[in-house]
Amino acid sequence: DQQVKQNSPSLSVQEGRISILNCDYTNSMFDYFLWYKKYPAEGPTFLISISSIKDKNEDGRFTVFLNKSAKHLSLHIVPSQPGDSAVYFCAALVSGNTGKLIFGQGTTLQVKP
């Protein structure tokens, strides 16, 4: 039962263009969402988060959009840089619960110079 899904295993983008990573969820109880970035042989690094009371959160080149009615969120990276090449994980949790994160399968982003 995959409650958080990242249906695109990989994405390739040219440097300077926009990268859009997508994430869908099924559990309507999720009310907090996070994006993590992971390089090989390292742990996930927190990027940006959004609460369900918002529909957009922006931090520098990273913007996360949340569409609650569609149970869909996306991460926009603009402009994309070669150093952004990594695996991106979407994660969700239920506030007031134990804080355990439910992760998607990840999307591998490759930014070409």
Partner 1 sequence: NAGVMQNPRHLVRRRGQEARLRCSPMKGHSHVYWYRQLPEEGLKFMVYLQKENIIDESGMPKERFSAEFPKEGPSILRIQQVVRGDSAAYFCASSPDQQETQYFGPGTRLLVL
The 10 Å Cβ neighbour count of residue 106 is 19
Q: Which stretch binds partner 1 (CB under 8 A): 14-22, 38-46, 58-66, 75-83?
A: 38-46
- Amino acid at position 86, single letter: A
Closest approach, Cβ 99 to partner 1, in A, equals 4
Regarding 42 and contact with partner 1 (CB under 8 A), the answer is yes
Q: Which stretch binds partner 1 (CB under 8 A): 52-60, 66-74, 78-86, 103-111?
A: 103-111
Which residues partner with 67 through β-bridges?
72
Report the alpha-carbon distance of residue 113 to residue 107 in Å, rounded.
19
Regarding 46 and contact with partner 1 (CB under 8 A), the answer is yes
φ, ψ of residue 106 to 5 degrees: the values are 100, 150
Regarding 105 and contact with partner 1 (CB under 8 A), the answer is yes
